[in-house]
Chains A and B, each alone.
Chain A
Amino acid sequence: MAKALKERHLGSIPGPDDVTRTELPNGIVVLARGNRHSASITLSGYLPAGSLFDPDEQLGLADFTASALMRGTSRRDFNALFDALESIGASLGFSGGTHSVGFSGKALAEDLDSLLELLAEVLRQPVFPKDQTERLRAQLLTSLALRAQDTGQMAALKFDQLVYPGHPYSRPDDGYPETVLSITRGHLAEFHRKHYGPRGLTLAIVGGVEPGEVADKVQAVLGDWANPEQPEPPELPDTPTLGTPLTERTELPGKFQSDIVMGAAGPRRRSPDYLAAAVGNNILGRFGLYGRIGDVVREQAGLAYYAYSSLNGGTGPGPWTVLAGVNPANEQRAVDLIDDEIRRFVSEPVSEEELRDSQTNFIGRLPLSLESNAGVAGALLNLERFELGLDYYRRYPALVEAVTREQIMEAAAKYLDPDRLAVAIAGPPPAE
């Protein structure tokens, strides 16, 4: 019984025997995995056309371009595109990031071909119609107006400015109202012409499909795509080192709760100490109900509904943060409690019990995170993006078990120097 269960368990984890990876002649990488229980498919992917390429004065250009792809192509206008999608209950959407533009879609398995055809069309032949571009601009400006009123988003935005001065990570991918206003249709078309192409395009398709057939389907719609102009992604500058702790408070009148973001730049996903940092982060602010941070700030002090930590290493050194939402009167108390926890975290090894708990949590949750087609697709993209190898999820339990208490403390001390943390707070003015 136990053996049978274990075998089934392993069978649910993607590996080289059930993931198909194909590199098309023009450089597109296609990953596929079948799910015989599923009547639908998920399609996700990315290509290197993120905000790293944005000039400062047109910040938000990459994001605007990605969002505008589906506003009309040389073959179909906005309504015809969405009619094709929505009439079959399918979805397809793009979102701009710092390093790349991501996309994801869903359809019934019988409609995979239609979805792929649409994807290829919007990637290759967008025309950025004037009326649709202006409608989209109004939507983007509204999002920015809402961001300006969101304590969590404003604290995170200020945090990035504190931690990454002069670095691309200090810039919000969605730009600022004035930069979004300055972007023209010409800029969108030019950005697309230059940065969209097959190189670096990675695509995962998962669900009720024969994985062996997927690459041919992609080849049929994207195989003849070429763009010799596509530039190499720019090199990331080094992360600035903060000299002293920095605190900044943004006032948002009329709000009832303050959001706190504190932390520093963390490891890249490919950094050798990433996994130790990730397990450590779980102990610091996730395990159970938000780990140590949740225990102190929420359970013991009753200060916050949410108080947790977050490790965001990706292609580059994304932030390692602690976040909490508190009553404005309790800001300093919460910051002090979090500060105490970070000091303990970087100076004392975690307990053996804490380490064991988080290790079994990481290993045990794998099947659940890979239950849905979208979960598997995201996992496959990570394999490719961070060059982890198709057998990574099979090796993962051993990798997690190898993490030691000392490695965690070293990683913590390396990235979260308590005397150089940035603290960003957004909330109502003190008088309210």
Chain B
Amino acid sequence: MENALTKVQLPNGLQVMLKEMHTAPLISQWMWYRVGSRDEATGITGASHWVEHMQFKGTPTYPAGMLDKAISRDGGIWNALTYLDWTTYLTTVPADKINLAMQLEADRMVNSTFEPDEVASERTVIVSERQGNENSPLFRLDEEVQSAAFRVHPYHHEVIGDMADLESMQRDDLYNHYRRYYVPNNAVLTMAGDFETQTMLKRIRKLYEGIPAGEQPPRQTRPEPEQSGERRITVEGPGETIFVKAAYQAPQGGHPDFSALTVLDSLLTGPSNLNLFGGGISNNTSRLYQALVERELAVSVNGGLQATVDPFLYGITITVHPDRSAEELIAALDDEIDKALQAVPQKDDLARAVKQAKALFAYGSESITNQAFWLGFAEMFDNYEWFTSYLDKLAAVTPDDVLQVAQTYLRPQKRVLGIYQATGNGASNG
């Protein structure tokens, strides 16, 4: 039974995935809902994230503050994350303390009250969260790049939402969003750790089978029209440091090209770490580090693909060298991208990318929390087999595949180029 995956769907549609493993006396529980910022219409941007906050504000059975205190008392960790496509609630606790976390999770699928005064006090907390983000040049640049990349698709706005909506949204907007999407047939419960699968399954059935299925929530599908020319945007703001972000229209996580693009990313900017826990490695031998940092045009470069439901972006973020301009940097970046568009990569370089991915996987697998994360995360944009076959898929990528995805996705016509133009320490532009 150990390390075997059990996948069950309850009659109400709740999908359950259990991975029994006895490496540490811990259990990690994640409840995933297929709702994220892409499910928000103009006027309620940020609703999914705000709902996530309200899920800690109490139900008639478990009042506000109960959950965080109860889990902390047991020495557990808890958190929640809202993303473009999904929202998830995680708890990792000593194995003999999982019951309460399970009861709370089932309870708040249905019974959160969204008290108006709690909504009001959370409004200012979230506005503060957004203002904290706005202090960061890279948040401001990312937000503008993302909105320039998506005119039609709801990936247009940041997860935190637009300030105008954070100021105007009302309690019922949030509550309706919650009731619409928080139904068992729109959720995946994943658990990994020190339990006996059949016993755990019984407990889950008992907690969830009484919750009726809801109407299947809609998923906004407004595909982004094909981009037919480079878009450039500039953000001005305080500081002395210039940042450049190149964001290319990229395929979704489940797309057959995703693996080859992952290898290409590894060659260009070093291996991306998709684990939430486990840490990454340096990228000093990657092509863009060599071309930009070693030639003193930049002081750092990072890249990354996101595994999303619909096509999103492949982003390259560069911190420009203090003695250089954005234009000099962009010219050097383009030279290197051109090479990727023209030359077939070496087979050895591909083998190295696979070895790096293998190491990152080993680092991430130490953590039971990370194991339970992968069960659900992969399910959100594809399915768990995506994860278990990941290394094999990377190993199967050929040099020609890499050239082909470069030519498909890395053309300048398919990108947004964003520049954070620093206006100095005294200047104000906010």
Contact = CB atoms under 8 A, between A and B. Distances in A.
Contact of B355 (A38, A40, A89): A89
Interface residues of A, number: 76
Nearest to A8: B25
Contacts of B92: 368
Interface string A411-432: 0000000000000000011001
A368 B430 contact: no
Interface in B304-355: 319, 321-323, 352, 355
Interface in A61-108: 78-79, 82-83, 85-91, 93, 106-108
Contacts of B290: 79
A34 interface: no
Contact of A139 (B77, B238, B300, B429): B300
Given A86-B283, A141-B322, A299-B121, A360 B74 contact: yes
B107 interface: no
B75 interface: yes
Contact of B281 (A91, A361, A428): A91
B125 interface: yes
B126 A305 contact: yes
A304 interface: yes
A149 interface: yes
B210 to A, nearest CB: 27
A149 B270 contact: no
A12 B366 CA distance: 13
Contacts of B68: 288-289
B413 interface: no
B357 A89 contact: yes
A89 B427 CA distance: 43
- Residue with the greatest number of chain A CB neighbours at <10 A, chosen from B64, B68, B357: B68
B222 interface: no
B282 A138 contact: no
Nearest to A328: B131
Interface string A362-383: 1111111001111000000000
Contact of A146 (B74, B241, B429): B241
A175 interface: no
Contacts of A8: 22, 25, 194
Nearest to A86: B285
Contact of A305 (B64, B76, B129, B428): B129
- Residue with the greatest number of chain A CB neighbours at <10 A, chosen from B22, B131, B365: B131
B90 to A, nearest CB: 12
A83 B120 CA distance: 54
Given A83-B285, A253-B238, A371-B26, A108 B299 contact: no
Contacts, number: 224
Nearest to A134: B296
A173 interface: no
A366 B77 CA distance: 11
B73 interface: yes
Nearest to A372: B366
Nearest to A146: B241
B207 to A, nearest CB: 21
B137 interface: yes
A209 interface: no
A156 B358 CA distance: 39
A140 B319 CA distance: 12
B135 interface: yes
Contacts of A326: 128
A42 B118 CA distance: 44
B97 interface: yes
A39 interface: yes
Contact of A302 (B93, B122, B280, B293): B122
25 contacts: A8-B22, A8-B25, A12-B24, A40-B362, A86-B282, A89-B281, A91-B279, A106-B363, A142-B321, A145-B240, A146-B239, A254-B423, A254-B430, A257-B128, A288-B68, A303-B124, A305-B125, A305-B129, A305-B132, A327-B128, A362-B75, A364-B97, A368-B92, A368-B94, A372-B367
10 interchain residue pairs of minimum CB distance: A364-B75, A89-B359, A254-B238, A302-B121, A365-B75, A305-B129, A302-B124, A253-B428, A288-B68, A91-B281
Given A106-B359, A108-B359, 8 more contacts: A5-B96, A39-B365, A83-B285, A89-B355, A89-B360, A326-B128, A368-B93, A371-B24
